[in-house]
Amino acid sequence: MSATNSCGTSNTRCTAVKGAPNTPASITATPSTWCPNTAGVEFNANIANVTGAYTLSWTYPAASANYISGGGNSSSLILDWTTGNGAVMITATNACGSGTKVFDVVLDNCREAGIETVKQMDVYPNPANDLVNISYQSAATELIKVSLMDYSGKLVVNQNVQVNSGMNNYSLDVSKLAPGVYMLNVQSENGNMQRKLIKQ
């Protein structure tokens, strides 16, 4: 900027102009679709386009989801989703304004037959010391997600396991975990099942 009159023009002076932060580019969810009563749904925001000084905040439908971890001024959030659809949002804010990205959650149309099949699961021994055996009945060859959370909501095990049609046996090493109570979750394309696991 400069000033001009009949005597001439002043030297140019510059000042930085600050504005509201950009809206985060996207939100992705893992898994990409899920059924009611699914534990450990992870939301991640792409904030590569958000620059300057800003803070992040998350909102989600409290009637449909329970907080597990993350959120706050971070780019990830983990929720246990109970039932119903809703919106998960992340907002970047500074003194000049804010930008909000919305992820619309629409639950998968889970087939009743699949839900009945996934209920055929046994976990032993329980309590466990070193290895936990998971016997899982599957209706088809598929990739399932096996996860384990402690009771503070921290995800301590997250594995993808290939299973075949029929009864499958899988061993999970828990020898390095601290003694306590954990929640074991097995998620497939057709349903979700949880078991409480005690580590001695």
Q: What does pTM read for this prediction?
A: 0.52
Q: What is the pLDDT of residues 18-75, one digit of tens each?
A: 578 999 999 999 888 888 888 889 999 999 999 989 999 999 998 889 998 889 999 9
pLDDT category, 174, cuts 50, 70, 90?
A: very high
- C-alpha distances (whole Å) from 32 to each of 27, 58, 90, 189 are 11, 19, 17, 11
Please state the rounded mean pLDDT for residues 99-114: 74
What SS3 state is found at 144?
strand
Residues 6 or more apart in contact with residue 187 via CB below 8 angstroms: 31, 34, 38, 39, 144, 145, 147, 193
Q: Count of alpha carbons within 13 Å of 184, Cβ hemisphere only?
A: 24
Give the integer Cα–Cα distance in Å for 198 and 180.
6
Q: What is the pLDDT of residues 176-193, one digit of tens each?
A: 999 988 888 888 877 777
What would you measure as the largest C-alpha separation in the chain, in angstroms?
93
pLDDT category, 118, cuts 50, 70, 90?
A: very low
- Ordered by where they begin, the domains of the chain are 26-105 (2.60.40.10), 112-199 (2.60.40.1930)
pLDDT category, 159, cuts 50, 70, 90?
A: very high
Least confident of 8-12, 18-22, 114-118, 123-127: 114-118
**Which is nearest to 41 in space by CA: 1, 4, 71, 18?**
71
Is the pLDDT at 115 greater than 60? The verdict is no
